[in-house]
Amino acid sequence: MLSVEEIDAYYGNVKVLEKINFSAKEGKLLGIIGPNGSGKTTLLKVISKIIKPSVGTVLLNEFDISKMGKRELARKMAVVPQESSTSFSFTAMEIVLMGRTPHLKRFETEGLEDLEVAKRCMKLTNCSNLAERQIDELSGGELQKVIIARALAQEPKVLLMDEPTSHLDIKNQIEILELMKRLTDDRLIVIAVFHDLNMASRYCEELILLKEGKIVSFGRTEEVLTSENIRNVFDISTSIKRDPLTNSLSLMVIPKKKEKEKIKESLRIHIICGGGSGSILMHSLDEEYEITAGVIHELDTDFEVAKALSIDMVSEAPFSPIGDERYEENLDMIRRSDIVIIANMPVGFGNIKNLYAAISAIEDKKEVLIIDETPIEERDFTDGEATEIFKSLREDGGIFVKDMHELLDRLENY
């Protein structure tokens, strides 16, 4: 196990890492993410003893690395840097063999066994075909595979990689990341800096999120990769969903809001939606109006969008019917709004209470706009109860519009 305890690090008198604490175990790929300048590379440099921390310790299986010699550390830890220099003309095999140096005695040259290790490592990174090629003639992707093979030839316990795939095309990226995954399964501790959050999410079991030299979040990928954390650290809005194909979280960046028009901002609109029916609506209206939403079930697309746009909403646990408390909270939000919109949503017993909330809104003299794009009978999964409520909404003054365009026109002229 690798433990990093209470690390602070400086460049000159500028503090770039503060109170860094975490541990990494074998069998799990640990990713480090964070904006440029947040301290990711510096953290790797501290772990690999290139930079000495001002306070704190790095322990490898409970041994303090500051007390280890260079060669001893190199037998336990290998680094794949962001940029590899290729100024000397060696063959790829010679480069990989250099990884054996920490295992050789003074003045000893590489033997047959070392050659076997080098060959095996080149095979692992799929670069055996490059063995006799000059290193300065390789493409970025080819070079990267050779550098990783050299790191593996050190037969380390810990492999540190700084943006290991940043120069690679997508096929090579996936190849290297799949390899990293296999290496962690083979009991290597792998810690890698990731630039691409989707790649980090797909391949890392655990993540460290850095901001201005401090850990904002450390833990299982799904705990770290939340819209709130990403907004806090990267200042972007994202919609984060589980990709059904890879089962990993996938991030979509939502464009920044335009400056709101002050006059319209004072108009509060409450959106009742679900099943993805409110997503476009929220995106379109959020730029200009003060939006609230509810009751939306967690995991629903509308829930993710509302969260990503920081829309104030009432939500209910997934697959549970709307409870009394949530219903009341929703009514409170409706009372604070000027207009209520009912999206073109499917209605089941899980969300029928949202329609009762709309009736209550009409009783409260709110303007209730109902998008009636798909006839209610076709999206009524309540044995007709929803259809009945729609009838009374119509009789009691609910305004039915045929689609989003008509709705937007109406709001323009409000």
Nearest alpha-carbon partner for 286 in 263, 311, 267: 311
Nearest distance in Å: CB 333, ligand ADP: 40
Strands 2-11 and 14-24: antiparallel
Nearest distance in Å: CB 51, ligand ADP: 9
DSSP 286: H
Tokens 């589980």 correspond to 242
Rounded Cα distance, 150 and 159, in Å: 11
* DSSP string across 99-164: TTGGGSPTTPPP-HHHHHHHHHHHHHTT-GGGTTSBGGGS-HHHHHHHHHHHHHHT--SEEEEEST
Burial of 111 (0-12, 13-18, 19+ CB in 10 A): exposed
Nearest distance in Å: CB 17, ligand ADP: 8
Three-state DSSP string of 161-223: EECCCCCCCHHHHHHHHHHHHHHHHCCCEEEEECCCHHHHHHHCCEEEEEECCEEEEEEEHHH
Nearest distance in Å: CB 140, ligand ADP: 19
Nearest alpha-carbon partner for 51 in 61, 63, 39, 62: 39
Distances from the Cα of 375 to the Cα of 251, 347, 391, 400, 401, angstroms: 34, 12, 12, 11, 12
Nearer to ligand ADP, 11 or 88 (CB): 11
- Residue 364: count other Cβ atoms within 10 Å of its Cβ: 13
Nearest distance in Å: CB 370, ligand ADP: 50
Nearest distance in Å: CB 309, ligand ADP: 28
Nearer to ligand ADP, 37 or 111 (CB): 37
Nearest distance in Å: CB 162, ligand ADP: 7
Nearest distance in Å: CB 269, ligand ADP: 40
Nearest distance in Å: CB 78, ligand ADP: 19
Nearer to ligand ADP, 42 or 201 (CB): 42
Please, are residues 262 and 283 in contact by the beta-carbon 8 Å criterion? no
Rounded Cα distance, 146 and 86, in Å: 11
Rounded Cα distance, 364 and 409, in Å: 24
Nearer to ligand ADP, 13 or 413 (CB): 13
Nearest alpha-carbon partner for 31 in 188, 171, 161, 175: 161
Nearer to ligand ADP, 9 or 361 (CB): 9
In total, the chain counts a number of residues equal to 414
Nearest distance in Å: CB 16, ligand ADP: 4
Rule CB under 6 A: which residues touch ligand ADP?
A: 11, 16, 34, 36-42
Token pair listed for 112: 């047959």
Nearer to ligand ADP, 36 or 87 (CB): 36
> Can you say how many angstroms the Cα of residue 92 is from the centroid of all Cα atoms in its chain?
35
Burial 271-305 (b: 16+ CB within 10 A, else e): bbbbbbbbbebbeebbbbbbbbbbbbbeebbbbbb
Nearer to ligand ADP, 39 or 294 (CB): 39
